[in-house]
Amino acid sequence: MKHYARFIKGAAGPQTIVIGASAHTINTNAGAKVVAITGKAGSNLVAVCVSTATLSQPPTDDKGGSWIQAVNTASSAAPARYLRIFVRQSGGLADASTVTVTETPTSGDTGGGMAVFRLDNADETAPGYAYLDNNGLVSDGATGVPYLAFSAGACLATNCQIGAVISTNTSPAAPTGWTLYASGSYATPTLFWAIYYRTSGETGTTISCGAASATGWCSSCVEFKPLGV
């Protein structure tokens, strides 16, 4: 997997990343998923994408933005279920107008969806995705407690984290100190999903997602640094 280097703290005091807006759609319909979210000048976007029996492609948006994959994982339980997280790499949004994000999976999907988060106060000192500070994944988790695993070491308490788990039999509870953004399930094939975030205070490396056990699960997670870190 691709690994993103940590950034050295600057002298200025950090701000706090805020989830300024969010929206999602996850269902059993095949085909494109469309999410509209309120914009804000200078803010950045993150998309958590789920699909079944197919591997979703990078999203697009109606502002002409380009997106890059931050994490890609899957459960091998047949049929496969895929979980990917993307970040917008075209610089901060230009204004507060609504942004419409579209995820179009490859043919053959039987359902899935996308959650989009707007990050306010993320540090993007240069065009690109410099605000992405850490990521991680777990593929093919077996029976036990699902968890998020950050590959670049312990999270920074100043940073914001977003994580997700998909499973064949449970929607895991949120880790301690995290917010459960959305969870649910549907059949054909059976898919359980849960998406979480924490805007500050996390210092762990491997983060347990509640006490629920699961089989055939996988997880993805990303960490973002705010201005001044």
pLDDT tens per residue, range 65-81: 999 999 998 886 666 78
Contact between 147 and 206 under an 8 Å Cβ cutoff? The reply is: yes
Instruction: Return the ∠ at Cα 24 (arms to 22 and 28), rounded to 5°.
Output: 175
pLDDT at 133 over 60: yes
- 18 pLDDT exceeds 60? yes
For the stretch 141-163, pLDDT in tens is 777 889 999 999 999 999 999 99
Name the nearest CA neighbour of 149 among 103, 217, 77.
Answer: 217
Torsion of CA 85, 88, 94, 98, to 10 degrees: -40
Predicted local confidence at residue 125, as pLDDT = 66
Residues 166 and 154: their CA atoms lie apart, in Å, by: 23
Q: What pLDDT score does 163 carry?
A: 97
Per-residue pLDDT, 8: 43
pLDDT at 13: 66
Look at residue 6 and tell me whether its pLDDT is greater than 80. no
The reported pTM is 0.91
Instruction: Give 50's strand partners.
Output: 83, 113
CA distance 187 to 49: 18
Average pLDDT over residues 215-226: 90
Task: Go through 158-184 and write b for each residue having 16 or more CB atoms within 10 A of its CB, e for each that does not.
Answer: bbbbbbbbbbbebbbbbbeebebbbbe
Per-residue pLDDT reduced to its tens digit, 70-115: 999 888 666 678 899 999 998 889 999 999 999 988 877 888 899 9
Tally of CB atoms within 10 A around 120:
20
Q: What is the pLDDT of residue 3?
A: 43
**For the chain, what are the domain ranges?**
18-224
Number of neighbours of residue 57 by Cβ within 10 angstroms: 16
